[in-house]
Amino acid sequence: MRKSSVRLAAALAAVALVVTGCSSSTKTSSTAADKQLEIFTWWASGGEKAGLDAMTSVFTTANPNTKFINASVAGGAGVNAKAVLASRLEANNPPDSFQAHAGMELDGYVKSGKLEDLTSLYASEGWDKVFPADLLKTLTVGGKIYSVPVNIHRANVLWWNPATATKAGITTAPTTLDEFFADLAKFKAIGIPGIALAGKGDWAIAQLMDYLLLATMGADKYEGLFKGTTSWTGPEVAAALVNFQKALSFGNKDAGNLDWPDAGKLITSGKAGFFIMGDWASAQWQSDGLKLGTDYTWAAAPGTTNIYQWLSDSFTLPIGAKDRNAALAWLKVCGSKAGQDAFNPKKGSISVRTDSDLTLYDSYLQAAAAQWKTDRLVGSTVHGVNGNNALMAAFDAAAGKYLSGGAKDNAGLAKDLAAAYVAGQA
Protein backbone atom coordinates (compact mmCIF):
# COMPACT_ATOMS: atom_id res chain seq x y z
CA MET A 1 0.00 0.00 0.00
CA ARG A 2 1.26 3.47 -0.85
CA LYS A 3 2.03 5.88 1.95
CA SER A 4 -0.53 8.60 2.57
CA SER A 5 1.97 11.32 1.67
CA VAL A 6 2.47 9.78 -1.75
CA ARG A 7 -1.29 9.61 -2.30
CA LEU A 8 -1.65 13.24 -1.28
CA ALA A 9 1.09 14.32 -3.66
CA ALA A 10 -0.52 12.39 -6.47
CA ALA A 11 -3.91 13.92 -5.73
CA LEU A 12 -2.49 17.45 -5.68
CA ALA A 13 -0.71 16.78 -8.96
CA ALA A 14 -3.96 15.60 -10.53
CA VAL A 15 -5.81 18.70 -9.35
CA ALA A 16 -3.02 20.92 -10.66
CA LEU A 17 -3.26 19.19 -14.01
CA VAL A 18 -6.97 19.92 -14.27
CA VAL A 19 -6.57 23.52 -13.16
CA THR A 20 -3.81 24.32 -15.62
CA GLY A 21 -5.64 22.51 -18.45
CA CYS A 22 -2.37 21.13 -19.81
CA SER A 23 0.35 18.60 -19.21
CA SER A 24 4.07 19.00 -19.56
CA SER A 25 4.12 16.68 -22.56
CA THR A 26 1.22 18.27 -24.46
CA LYS A 27 2.07 21.87 -25.36
CA THR A 28 -0.99 22.32 -27.59
CA SER A 29 -3.42 22.26 -24.67
CA SER A 30 -3.30 25.97 -23.78
CA THR A 31 -6.70 27.60 -24.23
CA ALA A 32 -5.37 31.18 -24.39
CA ALA A 33 -6.21 31.55 -28.09
CA ASP A 34 -9.62 29.85 -27.85
CA LYS A 35 -12.40 32.12 -26.65
CA GLN A 36 -15.06 29.45 -26.76
CA LEU A 37 -15.68 25.71 -26.67
CA GLU A 38 -18.67 24.12 -28.36
CA ILE A 39 -19.57 20.59 -27.33
CA PHE A 40 -22.44 18.55 -28.75
CA THR A 41 -24.55 16.27 -26.52
CA TRP A 42 -28.10 14.97 -26.03
CA TRP A 43 -28.01 15.87 -22.33
CA ALA A 44 -30.65 18.58 -22.02
CA SER A 45 -32.55 17.94 -18.77
CA GLY A 46 -32.76 16.09 -15.46
CA GLY A 47 -29.83 14.19 -14.03
CA GLU A 48 -28.05 14.21 -17.38
CA LYS A 49 -27.91 18.00 -17.48
CA ALA A 50 -27.04 18.16 -13.77
CA GLY A 51 -24.08 15.87 -14.32
CA LEU A 52 -22.86 17.80 -17.34
CA ASP A 53 -23.23 21.10 -15.48
CA ALA A 54 -21.06 19.75 -12.66
CA MET A 55 -18.29 18.69 -15.03
CA THR A 56 -18.64 21.96 -16.95
CA SER A 57 -18.03 23.81 -13.69
CA VAL A 58 -14.67 22.03 -13.35
CA PHE A 59 -13.78 23.13 -16.89
CA THR A 60 -14.90 26.76 -16.55
CA THR A 61 -13.10 27.18 -13.23
CA ALA A 62 -9.89 26.16 -14.94
CA ASN A 63 -10.66 28.11 -18.12
CA PRO A 64 -12.58 31.25 -17.06
CA ASN A 65 -11.93 33.09 -20.34
CA THR A 66 -13.37 30.35 -22.54
CA LYS A 67 -17.10 30.53 -23.23
CA PHE A 68 -18.72 27.12 -22.85
CA ILE A 69 -21.43 26.23 -25.38
CA ASN A 70 -23.45 23.03 -25.05
CA ALA A 71 -25.14 22.53 -28.42
CA SER A 72 -27.48 19.88 -27.06
CA VAL A 73 -30.28 18.19 -28.98
CA ALA A 74 -32.74 16.52 -26.61
CA GLY A 75 -33.76 12.90 -27.07
CA GLY A 76 -32.89 9.73 -25.16
CA ALA A 77 -29.94 7.66 -26.44
CA GLY A 78 -29.14 10.45 -28.92
CA VAL A 79 -31.85 9.43 -31.39
CA ASN A 80 -32.36 13.04 -32.48
CA ALA A 81 -28.86 14.38 -31.89
CA LYS A 82 -27.12 11.88 -34.15
CA ALA A 83 -29.00 13.04 -37.23
CA VAL A 84 -28.05 16.67 -36.58
CA LEU A 85 -24.45 15.68 -35.88
CA ALA A 86 -24.23 13.68 -39.11
CA SER A 87 -25.30 16.70 -41.12
CA ARG A 88 -22.71 18.91 -39.42
CA LEU A 89 -19.92 16.44 -39.98
CA GLU A 90 -20.93 16.04 -43.62
CA ALA A 91 -20.78 19.83 -44.03
CA ASN A 92 -17.31 19.93 -42.42
CA ASN A 93 -18.73 22.04 -39.60
CA PRO A 94 -18.01 19.86 -36.56
CA PRO A 95 -18.46 20.93 -32.95
CA ASP A 96 -15.23 21.11 -30.97
CA SER A 97 -16.13 17.84 -29.23
CA PHE A 98 -19.17 15.58 -29.47
CA GLN A 99 -20.69 12.87 -27.34
CA ALA A 100 -20.63 9.30 -28.66
CA HIS A 101 -21.06 5.92 -27.06
CA ALA A 102 -17.90 3.92 -26.56
CA GLY A 103 -17.75 0.75 -28.61
CA MET A 104 -18.82 0.02 -32.16
CA GLU A 105 -20.75 3.30 -32.44
CA LEU A 106 -17.41 5.05 -32.85
CA ASP A 107 -16.44 2.75 -35.70
CA GLY A 108 -18.28 4.69 -38.39
CA TYR A 109 -16.81 8.02 -37.33
CA VAL A 110 -13.32 6.55 -37.35
CA LYS A 111 -13.66 4.81 -40.71
CA SER A 112 -15.02 7.98 -42.32
CA GLY A 113 -12.00 9.93 -41.09
CA LYS A 114 -13.89 12.30 -38.79
CA LEU A 115 -11.90 11.87 -35.56
CA GLU A 116 -8.41 12.65 -34.33
CA ASP A 117 -6.32 9.93 -32.72
CA LEU A 118 -6.12 10.55 -28.94
CA THR A 119 -3.69 7.75 -28.06
CA SER A 120 -0.91 10.17 -27.11
CA LEU A 121 -3.29 12.02 -24.79
CA TYR A 122 -3.94 8.76 -22.93
CA ALA A 123 -0.19 8.36 -22.39
CA SER A 124 0.41 11.96 -21.30
CA GLU A 125 -2.56 11.96 -18.90
CA GLY A 126 -1.88 8.48 -17.52
CA TRP A 127 -5.33 7.18 -18.47
CA ASP A 128 -3.80 3.97 -19.78
CA LYS A 129 -3.03 3.19 -16.14
CA VAL A 130 -6.30 4.25 -14.44
CA PHE A 131 -8.90 3.16 -17.01
CA PRO A 132 -9.81 -0.57 -16.96
CA ALA A 133 -7.87 -2.62 -19.49
CA ASP A 134 -11.02 -4.29 -20.88
CA LEU A 135 -12.60 -0.90 -21.53
CA LEU A 136 -9.45 0.31 -23.28
CA LYS A 137 -9.72 -2.67 -25.63
CA THR A 138 -13.29 -1.66 -26.48
CA LEU A 139 -12.17 1.89 -27.22
CA THR A 140 -9.28 0.85 -29.44
CA VAL A 141 -9.71 0.80 -33.21
CA GLY A 142 -6.74 -0.31 -35.27
CA GLY A 143 -4.39 0.16 -32.34
CA LYS A 144 -5.54 3.75 -31.71
CA ILE A 145 -8.00 5.38 -29.29
CA TYR A 146 -10.42 8.03 -30.53
CA SER A 147 -12.54 9.09 -27.54
CA VAL A 148 -12.41 9.75 -23.80
CA PRO A 149 -15.06 7.87 -21.76
CA VAL A 150 -16.63 9.80 -18.90
CA ASN A 151 -18.75 7.09 -17.29
CA ILE A 152 -20.13 3.56 -17.14
CA HIS A 153 -23.90 3.00 -17.15
CA ARG A 154 -25.79 -0.21 -16.54
CA ALA A 155 -28.75 -0.88 -18.84
CA ASN A 156 -30.23 -4.02 -17.26
CA VAL A 157 -31.73 -2.60 -14.05
CA LEU A 158 -35.15 -3.37 -12.57
CA TRP A 159 -36.82 -0.42 -10.81
CA TRP A 160 -39.99 -0.33 -8.73
CA ASN A 161 -41.89 1.58 -6.06
CA PRO A 162 -41.75 -0.34 -2.75
CA ALA A 163 -45.21 0.82 -1.66
CA THR A 164 -46.77 -0.32 -4.94
CA ALA A 165 -45.04 -3.70 -4.71
CA THR A 166 -46.36 -4.18 -1.17
CA LYS A 167 -49.91 -3.55 -2.38
CA ALA A 168 -49.40 -6.26 -5.00
CA GLY A 169 -48.04 -8.71 -2.42
CA ILE A 170 -44.48 -8.57 -3.76
CA THR A 171 -41.85 -8.57 -1.02
CA THR A 172 -38.67 -9.58 -2.86
CA ALA A 173 -37.26 -8.75 -6.27
CA PRO A 174 -37.75 -11.41 -8.96
CA THR A 175 -34.51 -13.06 -10.01
CA THR A 176 -35.79 -15.28 -12.84
CA LEU A 177 -38.01 -14.58 -15.82
CA ASP A 178 -40.67 -16.93 -14.43
CA GLU A 179 -40.75 -14.93 -11.20
CA PHE A 180 -40.78 -11.71 -13.23
CA PHE A 181 -43.86 -12.69 -15.22
CA ALA A 182 -45.62 -13.95 -12.08
CA ASP A 183 -45.06 -10.54 -10.47
CA LEU A 184 -46.30 -8.71 -13.57
CA ALA A 185 -49.54 -10.65 -13.14
CA LYS A 186 -49.73 -9.57 -9.49
CA PHE A 187 -49.51 -5.90 -10.48
CA LYS A 188 -52.17 -6.47 -13.12
CA ALA A 189 -54.41 -8.02 -10.44
CA ILE A 190 -54.41 -4.75 -8.46
CA GLY A 191 -55.41 -2.82 -11.57
CA ILE A 192 -52.16 -1.32 -12.87
CA PRO A 193 -49.84 -2.22 -15.76
CA GLY A 194 -47.20 -4.71 -14.66
CA ILE A 195 -44.47 -2.92 -16.58
CA ALA A 196 -44.00 0.70 -17.66
CA LEU A 197 -43.30 1.03 -21.38
CA ALA A 198 -41.84 3.98 -23.28
CA GLY A 199 -42.33 3.65 -27.03
CA LYS A 200 -41.70 7.20 -28.18
CA GLY A 201 -38.52 7.23 -30.22
CA ASP A 202 -38.29 3.41 -30.32
CA TRP A 203 -35.01 3.07 -28.40
CA ALA A 204 -36.48 2.36 -24.93
CA ILE A 205 -38.64 -0.45 -26.33
CA ALA A 206 -35.58 -1.72 -28.18
CA GLN A 207 -33.65 -1.65 -24.90
CA LEU A 208 -36.33 -3.81 -23.25
CA MET A 209 -36.05 -6.24 -26.16
CA ASP A 210 -32.26 -6.21 -25.92
CA TYR A 211 -32.45 -7.07 -22.22
CA LEU A 212 -34.89 -9.93 -22.86
CA LEU A 213 -32.62 -11.34 -25.56
CA LEU A 214 -29.84 -11.43 -22.97
CA ALA A 215 -32.02 -12.77 -20.12
CA THR A 216 -33.53 -15.52 -22.26
CA MET A 217 -30.44 -16.66 -24.16
CA GLY A 218 -27.65 -16.10 -21.65
CA ALA A 219 -24.50 -14.07 -22.19
CA ASP A 220 -22.66 -16.46 -24.53
CA LYS A 221 -25.51 -16.96 -27.01
CA TYR A 222 -26.36 -13.26 -26.81
CA GLU A 223 -22.84 -12.18 -27.68
CA GLY A 224 -22.88 -14.74 -30.47
CA LEU A 225 -25.54 -12.65 -32.20
CA PHE A 226 -22.88 -10.01 -32.89
CA LYS A 227 -20.13 -12.48 -33.75
CA GLY A 228 -22.18 -14.40 -36.32
CA THR A 229 -22.29 -17.58 -34.21
CA THR A 230 -25.93 -17.28 -33.04
CA SER A 231 -28.65 -16.98 -35.67
CA TRP A 232 -31.07 -14.06 -35.48
CA THR A 233 -33.76 -16.31 -36.96
CA GLY A 234 -32.93 -19.34 -34.81
CA PRO A 235 -34.77 -20.89 -31.84
CA GLU A 236 -32.90 -18.90 -29.17
CA VAL A 237 -34.06 -15.56 -30.57
CA ALA A 238 -37.55 -16.97 -31.17
CA ALA A 239 -37.83 -17.87 -27.47
CA ALA A 240 -36.60 -14.42 -26.43
CA LEU A 241 -39.15 -12.71 -28.66
CA VAL A 242 -41.95 -14.74 -27.07
CA ASN A 243 -40.82 -13.31 -23.71
CA PHE A 244 -40.67 -9.83 -25.24
CA GLN A 245 -44.19 -10.26 -26.57
CA LYS A 246 -45.38 -11.47 -23.16
CA ALA A 247 -43.79 -8.53 -21.33
CA LEU A 248 -45.41 -6.03 -23.69
CA SER A 249 -48.81 -7.57 -22.99
CA PHE A 250 -48.53 -6.38 -19.37
CA GLY A 251 -47.62 -2.81 -20.34
CA ASN A 252 -49.43 0.50 -20.48
CA LYS A 253 -51.53 0.99 -23.61
CA ASP A 254 -50.26 4.53 -24.27
CA ALA A 255 -46.64 3.41 -24.60
CA GLY A 256 -46.24 4.92 -28.07
CA ASN A 257 -46.85 8.40 -26.65
CA LEU A 258 -44.40 8.21 -23.75
CA ASP A 259 -40.68 8.90 -23.60
CA TRP A 260 -38.74 7.17 -20.82
CA PRO A 261 -39.03 9.94 -18.18
CA ASP A 262 -42.82 9.88 -18.60
CA ALA A 263 -42.90 6.09 -18.29
CA GLY A 264 -40.69 6.36 -15.23
CA LYS A 265 -43.25 8.62 -13.55
CA LEU A 266 -45.76 5.77 -13.78
CA ILE A 267 -43.48 3.87 -11.39
CA THR A 268 -42.81 6.64 -8.90
CA SER A 269 -46.49 7.64 -8.80
CA GLY A 270 -47.68 4.07 -8.21
CA LYS A 271 -49.40 3.74 -11.58
CA ALA A 272 -47.28 0.86 -12.90
CA GLY A 273 -45.28 -1.99 -11.40
CA PHE A 274 -41.79 -2.56 -12.81
CA PHE A 275 -39.53 -0.54 -15.10
CA ILE A 276 -36.59 -1.96 -17.03
CA MET A 277 -34.35 1.03 -17.61
CA GLY A 278 -30.73 2.10 -17.32
CA ASP A 279 -29.42 3.61 -14.12
CA TRP A 280 -29.81 7.14 -15.47
CA ALA A 281 -33.40 6.73 -14.24
CA SER A 282 -32.19 7.06 -10.65
CA ALA A 283 -30.48 10.38 -11.41
CA GLN A 284 -33.66 11.63 -13.10
CA TRP A 285 -35.78 10.76 -10.07
CA GLN A 286 -33.30 12.28 -7.65
CA SER A 287 -33.34 15.49 -9.68
CA ASP A 288 -37.12 15.41 -9.18
CA GLY A 289 -36.60 15.26 -5.41
CA LEU A 290 -37.29 11.54 -4.89
CA LYS A 291 -35.29 9.35 -2.52
CA LEU A 292 -33.52 6.11 -3.39
CA GLY A 293 -34.70 3.32 -1.11
CA THR A 294 -37.88 5.13 -0.14
CA ASP A 295 -39.65 6.33 -3.28
CA TYR A 296 -38.02 3.75 -5.53
CA THR A 297 -35.59 0.86 -5.34
CA TRP A 298 -33.73 -1.49 -7.65
CA ALA A 299 -32.26 -4.90 -8.44
CA ALA A 300 -30.46 -6.51 -11.35
CA ALA A 301 -33.06 -7.21 -14.02
CA PRO A 302 -34.46 -10.77 -13.74
CA GLY A 303 -32.46 -13.44 -15.50
CA THR A 304 -29.32 -11.27 -15.54
CA THR A 305 -28.05 -11.52 -11.98
CA ASN A 306 -24.25 -11.28 -12.12
CA ILE A 307 -24.41 -9.89 -15.69
CA TYR A 308 -23.66 -6.20 -16.22
CA GLN A 309 -25.04 -4.92 -19.53
CA TRP A 310 -22.94 -1.82 -19.90
CA LEU A 311 -22.55 1.31 -21.98
CA SER A 312 -20.26 4.29 -21.78
CA ASP A 313 -20.59 7.89 -22.87
CA SER A 314 -17.44 9.43 -24.31
CA PHE A 315 -16.21 12.62 -25.94
CA THR A 316 -14.22 13.00 -29.13
CA LEU A 317 -11.94 15.44 -30.95
CA PRO A 318 -13.29 15.92 -34.50
CA ILE A 319 -10.86 16.65 -37.29
CA GLY A 320 -11.29 20.33 -38.18
CA ALA A 321 -12.49 21.46 -34.73
CA LYS A 322 -12.33 25.25 -34.71
CA ASP A 323 -11.31 25.48 -31.06
CA ARG A 324 -8.97 22.51 -30.89
CA ASN A 325 -6.95 23.71 -27.92
CA ALA A 326 -10.08 24.26 -25.85
CA ALA A 327 -11.32 20.85 -26.93
CA LEU A 328 -8.12 19.23 -25.66
CA ALA A 329 -8.55 21.02 -22.33
CA TRP A 330 -12.15 19.74 -22.20
CA LEU A 331 -11.07 16.17 -22.91
CA LYS A 332 -8.53 16.35 -20.10
CA VAL A 333 -11.29 17.36 -17.70
CA CYS A 334 -13.47 14.53 -19.05
CA GLY A 335 -10.80 11.98 -18.18
CA SER A 336 -9.73 13.54 -14.89
CA LYS A 337 -10.66 12.31 -11.43
CA ALA A 338 -12.08 15.73 -10.53
CA GLY A 339 -14.20 15.85 -13.68
CA GLN A 340 -15.54 12.32 -13.41
CA ASP A 341 -16.28 12.50 -9.70
CA ALA A 342 -18.18 15.75 -10.26
CA PHE A 343 -20.13 14.36 -13.23
CA ASN A 344 -21.08 10.80 -12.36
CA PRO A 345 -22.84 11.06 -8.98
CA LYS A 346 -25.35 13.44 -10.58
CA LYS A 347 -25.54 11.60 -13.91
CA GLY A 348 -26.40 8.31 -12.18
CA SER A 349 -23.34 6.47 -13.48
CA ILE A 350 -20.01 5.28 -12.16
CA SER A 351 -16.60 6.65 -12.99
CA VAL A 352 -14.40 4.97 -15.56
CA ARG A 353 -11.38 5.59 -13.37
CA THR A 354 -10.23 2.92 -10.95
CA ASP A 355 -9.25 5.60 -8.39
CA SER A 356 -12.71 7.18 -8.10
CA ASP A 357 -13.79 8.52 -4.68
CA LEU A 358 -16.78 6.26 -3.95
CA THR A 359 -17.74 8.24 -0.84
CA LEU A 360 -19.23 10.78 -3.26
CA TYR A 361 -21.63 8.19 -4.73
CA ASP A 362 -24.97 6.90 -3.41
CA SER A 363 -25.68 3.33 -2.32
CA TYR A 364 -26.85 2.18 -5.75
CA LEU A 365 -23.75 3.56 -7.48
CA GLN A 366 -21.44 2.07 -4.88
CA ALA A 367 -23.06 -1.32 -5.49
CA ALA A 368 -22.79 -0.81 -9.26
CA ALA A 369 -19.09 0.03 -8.94
CA ALA A 370 -18.50 -3.20 -7.02
CA GLN A 371 -20.53 -5.29 -9.50
CA TRP A 372 -18.71 -3.73 -12.47
CA LYS A 373 -15.56 -5.37 -11.13
CA THR A 374 -17.07 -8.83 -10.54
CA ASP A 375 -19.99 -9.37 -12.96
CA ARG A 376 -19.88 -10.75 -16.48
CA LEU A 377 -19.65 -7.67 -18.72
CA VAL A 378 -21.91 -7.64 -21.79
CA GLY A 379 -22.43 -4.66 -24.08
CA SER A 380 -25.66 -2.80 -24.81
CA THR A 381 -26.85 -2.93 -28.42
CA VAL A 382 -29.08 0.14 -28.17
CA HIS A 383 -26.21 2.21 -26.79
CA GLY A 384 -23.51 1.47 -29.29
CA VAL A 385 -21.33 -1.19 -27.71
CA ASN A 386 -22.32 -4.09 -29.99
CA GLY A 387 -22.97 -2.33 -33.26
CA ASN A 388 -22.53 0.86 -35.25
CA ASN A 389 -25.11 3.57 -35.89
CA ALA A 390 -26.59 1.70 -38.86
CA LEU A 391 -27.22 -1.42 -36.77
CA MET A 392 -28.62 0.59 -33.87
CA ALA A 393 -31.03 2.56 -36.06
CA ALA A 394 -32.37 -0.58 -37.70
CA PHE A 395 -32.53 -2.46 -34.38
CA ASP A 396 -34.54 0.34 -32.76
CA ALA A 397 -36.83 0.67 -35.78
CA ALA A 398 -37.56 -3.07 -35.76
CA ALA A 399 -38.69 -2.91 -32.12
CA GLY A 400 -40.79 0.20 -32.77
CA LYS A 401 -42.45 -1.41 -35.78
CA TYR A 402 -43.28 -4.48 -33.71
CA LEU A 403 -44.83 -2.39 -30.93
CA SER A 404 -46.91 -0.25 -33.29
CA GLY A 405 -48.07 -3.38 -35.12
CA GLY A 406 -49.57 -4.83 -31.98
CA ALA A 407 -46.66 -7.13 -31.08
CA LYS A 408 -47.97 -9.96 -33.24
CA ASP A 409 -45.41 -10.81 -35.94
CA ASN A 410 -42.51 -12.51 -34.13
CA ALA A 411 -41.13 -14.10 -37.28
CA GLY A 412 -41.18 -10.74 -39.03
CA LEU A 413 -39.38 -9.12 -36.08
CA ALA A 414 -36.66 -11.79 -36.19
CA LYS A 415 -36.14 -11.14 -39.90
CA ASP A 416 -35.97 -7.40 -39.27
CA LEU A 417 -33.33 -7.97 -36.56
CA ALA A 418 -31.32 -10.16 -38.90
CA ALA A 419 -31.48 -7.36 -41.48
CA ALA A 420 -30.34 -4.88 -38.84
CA TYR A 421 -27.26 -6.97 -38.16
CA VAL A 422 -26.50 -7.12 -41.88
CA ALA A 423 -26.90 -3.34 -42.15
CA GLY A 424 -24.27 -2.97 -39.43
CA GLN A 425 -21.77 -5.03 -41.42
CA ALA A 426 -21.98 -2.90 -44.55
At 77 the pLDDT is: 66
- Name the least confident of 13-17, 42-46, 381-385: 13-17
CB atoms within 10 A of CB 289: 7
CATH 3.40.50.360, domain 154-309+373-425, yes or no: no
Query: Which residue pairs, CB below 8 angstroms and at least 24 apart, start in 55-59?
Result: 55/150, 55/333, 55/334, 55/339, 55/340, 55/342, 55/343, 57/342, 58/18, 58/333, 58/336, 58/338, 58/339, 58/342, 59/329, 59/330, 59/333, 59/339
Angle between helices 177-189 and 235-249 (to 10 degrees): 20
At 27 the pLDDT is: 35
| pLDDT-based confidence at residue 78 (cuts at 50, 70, 90) | confident
Distance of alpha carbon 74 from alpha carbon 1, whole angstroms = 45
- Is the pTM of the predicted complex or chain greater than 0.75? yes
Distance of alpha carbon 291 from alpha carbon 268, whole angstroms = 10
As a whole-number percent, the residues of the chain with pLDDT over 90 amount to 84
Above 90 in pLDDT, residue 184? yes
Give the residue extent of every domain in the chain: 4-152+313-363, 154-309+373-425
Average pLDDT, the chain: 91
- Name the least confident of 75-79, 114-118, 155-159, 370-374: 75-79
Angle between helices 324-335 and 46-62 (to 10 degrees): 120
As a whole-number percent, the residues of the chain with pLDDT over 70 amount to 92
Above 60 in pLDDT, residue 28? no
| pLDDT-based confidence at residue 33 (cuts at 50, 70, 90) | low
Same CATH topology for 4-152+313-363 and 154-309+373-425: the answer is: yes
pLDDT in tens, 161-182: 999 999 999 999 999 999 999 9
152 φ/ψ sector (left φ>0, alpha ψ -120 to 50, else beta)? beta
> CB-based contacts of 134: which residues, under 8 Å, 6+ apart?
377
Above 80 in pLDDT, residue 390? yes
| pLDDT-based confidence at residue 265 (cuts at 50, 70, 90) | very high
Residue 125 CA, chain-centre distance (Å), reads 24
pLDDT in tens, 82-108: 889 999 999 999 999 999 999 999 888
At 406 the pLDDT is: 97
b/e for 188-215, b at 16 or more Cβ within 10 A? beeebbbbbbbbbbbbbbbbbbbbbbbb
Distance of alpha carbon 350 from alpha carbon 362, whole angstroms = 10
pLDDT in tens, 197-226: 999 999 999 999 999 999 999 999 999 999
For the domain bounded by 4-152+313-363, which CATH number is listed?
Answer: 3.40.190.10
At 3 the pLDDT is: 33
